[in-house]
Amino acid sequence: MTLPEQAPDVVAPVSTPLPADPNETRKGVVAALGAYLFWGFLPILFHVLEAAGSVLIVAERTLFSLVLLAVILASGSGFQEVRRLLTDWKTFRIIALATTLLVINWLLYVWAVETGQVLEASFGYFINPLVNVAIGMLILGERQNRLQTIAIGIAVVAIAIQAVGLGKFPFIAISLALTFGFYGFFRKTAPSGPASGLFAETVVAAPFALGYVIFNIASNGLGPHADPMTMGLLVLTGPATAVPLLLFAYGVRRLRLTTIGMFQYLAPSIQFLVAVLLFGEHLNATRLLSFALIWLSLAVFSYDSFRQRNFARGA
């Protein structure tokens, strides 16, 4: 689905068919895959920075993302679109909702990394595709064929097994899935370009982020800001945040939410491996079975997409 020309109402978005341009679809696929690769390895950066604390990391990544995006927008006419996004009340509501969901997602994710719960975080991003599928079906009217339905069914079983393997209510996982799923939905319905939309979101969050950084320095001194290496890594959180979000925003406007949803298995799969192989988190047989079923689900969905592409070419 593409975005309507005018900003839709937040509770009743309008959708139109995606343009049948294979080049645009291909670009969307490349952008989406790039975003998920970035996100897959992002826990490594946050793990190194865990001493700084999750709130400070999120505040710094917001501010340095803002700086990077300002440089990108300065090379074009993007600031005019940002002004429109922030001054039109209907659009601003969408941007504010997206910003709130994104910041909550960031805080939960960084906190999960610094408390050694990357496996549960990866579980959350395994659930996230199902949230996208549900939103696509219930709100945007997207429909699935038989193979896609089978793939989704396998994923549901895998997620149920994963929950058993955790042995507790997966609060982090479910919260991450819901916040990022609905963030993707609002980004899809907001009539904005990738850079200008993300810049508008960071502008909304920046005063709170700056206020926290000032408060933290006033209360605790320079802290991590006094160490050149740590400060350099905090600066790096800007591009590490902005680049995959730009790629995601670009891809989500060119692909169906269900397609985006199934691609999202890539990032949690990488996070899963990082948690086990680099961070030494415990992996039991139940969770390993869930991991295998998730990949089977992705294989079924990918086969169906490949089959439909070949059929369209033959037609």
Which pLDDT belongs to residue 7?
29
Phi, psi of 21 (to 5 degrees): -105, 110
Q: Which residues 6+ apart lie within 8 Å of 97 measured at CB?
A: 10, 186
**Closest of 93, 67, 73, 76 to residue 191, by C-alpha:** 93
pTM (two decimals):
0.77
List the beta bridge partners of residue 16: 2
79, two tokens:
């600031």
Q: Cβ(40)–Cβ(274) under 8 Å?
A: yes
Which pLDDT belongs to residue 67?
92
Q: What is the rounded CA–CA span in Å between residue 208 and residue 238?
A: 16
Q: What is the rounded CA–CA span in Å between residue 52 and residue 207?
A: 20
Which pLDDT belongs to residue 59?
95
DSSP 3-state of 279: coil
Which pLDDT belongs to residue 211?
96
What one-letter code names the amino acid at 250? Y
Q: Cβ(143)–Cβ(137) under 8 Å?
A: yes
**Closest of 296, 18, 256, 53 to residue 152, by C-alpha:** 296
Which pLDDT belongs to residue 217?
93
Which pLDDT belongs to residue 309?
62
pLDDT in tens, the chain (315 residues): 223 222 222 233 334 344 457 788 888 888 988 988 998 999 999 999 988 889 999 999 999 999 998 988 887 666 877 888 788 788 888 889 999 999 999 999 999 999 999 988 888 887 777 777 778 777 877 777 788 788 888 888 888 887 887 777 788 988 998 998 898 888 777 777 767 888 889 999 999 999 999 999 999 888 888 899 999 999 999 999 888 878 887 887 788 766 776 677 788 889 988 998 999 888 888 878 888 887 788 778 777 766 766 665 554
Q: Cβ(255)–Cβ(32) under 8 Å?
A: yes
DSSP 3-state of 12: strand
Q: What is the rounded CA–CA span in Å between residue 294 and residue 300?
A: 10
Q: What is the rounded CA–CA span in Å between residue 182 and residue 180?
A: 5
3, two tokens:
């975005």
Which pLDDT belongs to residue 13?
35
